[in-house]
Chain A
Amino acid sequence: MSETPADPGMHCPAPKHVEQVTLAHGGGGRLTHSLVRDIFAKAFVNETVHDGHVEVVSARRIATTVDGYVVRPMFFPGGDIGSLAVNGTVNDLAMCGARPECLTAGFIIEEGTGFEVLRRIAESMAGAARTAGTRIVAGDTKVVERGKGDGVYITTSGFGVCEHELDIHPRSIRAGDAVILSSDVGRHGMAVMSAREGLSFESQLRTDCRSLWTGVAALIAAGVPIRCLRDLTRGGLATGVIELAAAAELEITLEESSIPVAPAVQSACELLGFDPLYVANEGCFVAVVPGDQADKTVDTLRSVDGFEQAVRIGTVTDARPGQVSLRTKLGTLRNMMMLSGEQLPRIC
């Protein structure tokens, strides 16, 4: 061991940074953001802070969004890539406060994929669309050579109609607003993890994948003046809230003890060294509403099937713009930061 800090043995060489896509760029964290910001947003549009985009067409406000689905395994407890591709896009529209009018779907299919697999996926998509009250109205298929894809990739785009006057967007968030969580967190990520090859553990976990539109529609119908909505997909609750704080340039403080996590999710996370607040969901959102509307929002959501666990988890302040802090169960306060990439199972 070295005796002094100046010892030349005591160093840690810097890696040379090579610009190429790694799996960490798909994790929903800071690397995903830099990929979108530095390459695509720079080339196409000027806004990346919300789940979809609302355009005024003939005096009606139409929301559009698009999303790609590459989940592995394609079939996992409680869902599959098909239901995910429908609900994910329905939910991005719902986060704009838009009723999902119709979807389109594009399929990249690897040579050799069984028809039975495609049938299961198609039926799952049709079922999810029916449940969400929408239709799949156009589609496309392309086949790539064996080895050039990985089974089936799906891209869905969605069109929705905003039937209200609310500006549901991070720019509408104000200090004093309340942050409401629709249900418990972490189910989807841990369900997929439990089914993933080479990382199997016994579990009763099922994905929470479902349409969020029923919950959002109930809030709009009840007259809740929603400021913003965010579904908590890649990167989980923490990443979603950090994105909102950054886009709104306000601070959000969360209460750890109020955030529901199912015991099976908590156990699986302990086993793998994951933080459930960063685990992906596919049927869970936060609503930011004026502080005096918090109780009404919670009560309204709890009356809707699947949202019985809705709860207030935090407050917006103007203390530290762009930051998120967590009041831990012990009563201490700490910062929450976006992860770099995906969470990885730790060594011990």
Chain B
Amino acid sequence: MKYLDEFRAREPVQRCAAEIRRVVTRPWTLMEVCGGQTHSIVKHSLEALLPPDISLIHGPGCPVCVTPVDMLDKAHQIAADPRVIFCTFGDMLRVPGSTTDLFGVKARGADVRIVYSPLDVLEIAAANPDREVVFFAVGFETTAPANAMAVYQAKLRKLGNVSMLVSHVLVPPAIAAILSSSTNRVQGFLAAGHVCAIMGTREYIPLAQQYRVPIVVTGFEPLDILQGVLMCVRQLEQGRHEVENQYSRVVAEAGNNHAKGMIAEVFTVVERGWRGIGSIPASGLGLSDAYRDFDALKRFHVEESNPADVGECISGEVLQGIRKPNQCPAFGTRCTPEHPLGATMVSSEGACAAYYHYRSPTPT
């Protein structure tokens, strides 16, 4: 496939890895922000191509993994309402709340449907005027424009039976939170290419300057990631801390103005809880006043859940790069994709699931 095969080819990847080995003179710790990058790194065993001085740690950029438990519990309550058709992206189905997951709710009779585009939700709503159609709007800046467009269109089309359970999160506040933590080890970031395709690169400049870290906007294929590492390491070796763009075939400095306009039209920045991490101010998106009527939490009565069972899951530390998945004592034994202790073992982009599928020995 054009734009994929070139970035998965053996020769350029090996050449880039050799250049990284040539440039590196001392240990550096980098974080790839996005779960898609983590998945690619582990799936292609890219760390095997890097010199031992380069340590990659896996960031919080998996929307499935950071959706807070109380939001999942609310989703499960709404989905269980017999009036509701509950629409969701596929990989939310397995994510455990405090008592069940959407697969379990569906098995008990709920009408839970996988959609690929949030705009499909509008067609489902139009075809089922006597049902309430709820969409679980999760994700980073990448999915926000399409989700915003769905709400915008619902209002235009006067679809009164559509609502959204919104749990959107933003990348820059998460990077700031990691960098301001006393346990931070990250010296450079590979920023998430698709997020920047929407938002552009400028909002990362103050972060790079304030915390004196290089931030390289990076794509998702093996060659993208190694080029991102090379650009990041070159900056570190030269004592620079700038925002650079490896993923220039997709990302423009200003981002996508139409998409940003749609986000601004429908959403407003809010405080948001992050699973395993806690609440971060101004780190998420919620529906703005003009679109409040489409808020599922206003339309359905849901009980506040009180997820209290801490257990032994260390996903909060994994999501902040403090520990790696295989440093968890439960990894691959008491915690598996069938019986996950946390969301990072569930999503295909979760660091624990990626390690489990591609790196671990067979569990006992």
Q: A residues engaging B (CB < 8 A)?
A: 1-5, 7-18, 20-24, 30-31, 34, 198-199, 201, 263, 266-267, 270, 272-273, 322-323, 328-337, 339-341, 343-348
A-side contacts of B59, CB under 8 Å: none
Count of A-B residue pairs with CB < 8 Å: 202
Q: Is B231 an interface residue (CB 8 A)?
A: no
- Could you list 16 further interchain pairs (A-B, Cβ under 8 angstroms) beyond the known A13-B308, A347-B64? A3-B181, A10-B316, A13-B310, A14-B96, A22-B107, A198-B113, A198-B116, A201-B116, A329-B8, A330-B13, A330-B222, A333-B48, A335-B357, A337-B356, A341-B94, A345-B114
Bound-state Cα–Cα, A41 to B13, Å: 47
Q: B residues engaging A (CB < 8 A)?
A: 1, 4, 8-10, 13-14, 36, 42-46, 48-49, 63-64, 69, 89-94, 96-101, 103-104, 106-108, 113-116, 120, 124, 138-140, 142-143, 177-178, 180-183, 194, 222, 274-280, 307-311, 313-317, 320, 322-323, 336-344, 347-349, 356-362
Contact A198 to B348, CB < 8 A, known contacts A3-B183, A13-B311, A331-B10: no
Question: Would you call B4 and A270 a contact (CB within 8 A)?
Answer: yes
Bound-state Cα–Cα, A5 to B4, Å: 39
Contact A22 to B103, CB < 8 A, known contacts A332-B44, A344-B90: yes
Bound-state Cα–Cα, A1 to B256, Å: 29
Bound-state Cα–Cα, A335 to B341, Å: 22
Kindly identify which residue among B142, B309, B314, B320 contacts A14, using a CB–CB cutoff of 8 Å. Answer: B309
Bound-state Cα–Cα, A340 to B340, Å: 11
Contact A5 to B89, CB < 8 A, known contacts A11-B311, A328-B44, A333-B45: no
A-side contacts of B277, CB under 8 Å: 1-2, 9-10
What is the interface of chain B mostly: helix, strand, loop, or mixed? loop
Q: Smallest Cβ distance from A138 to chain B, in angstroms?
A: 34
Bound-state Cα–Cα, A110 to B274, Å: 46
Question: Would you call B48 and A332 a contact (CB within 8 A)?
Answer: yes
Closest 7 CB pairs of A and B: A15-B96, A344-B90, A10-B316, A12-B342, A332-B45, A9-B278, A1-B177
A-side contacts of B356, CB under 8 Å: 337
Kindly identify which residue among B91, B98, B280, B360 contacts A13, using a CB–CB cutoff of 8 Å. Answer: B98
Question: Would you call B93 and A11 a contact (CB within 8 A)?
Answer: no
Question: Would you call A13 and B63 a contact (CB within 8 A)?
Answer: no
Bound-state Cα–Cα, A253 to B172, Å: 42
B-side contacts of A334, CB under 8 Å: 42-45, 358-359
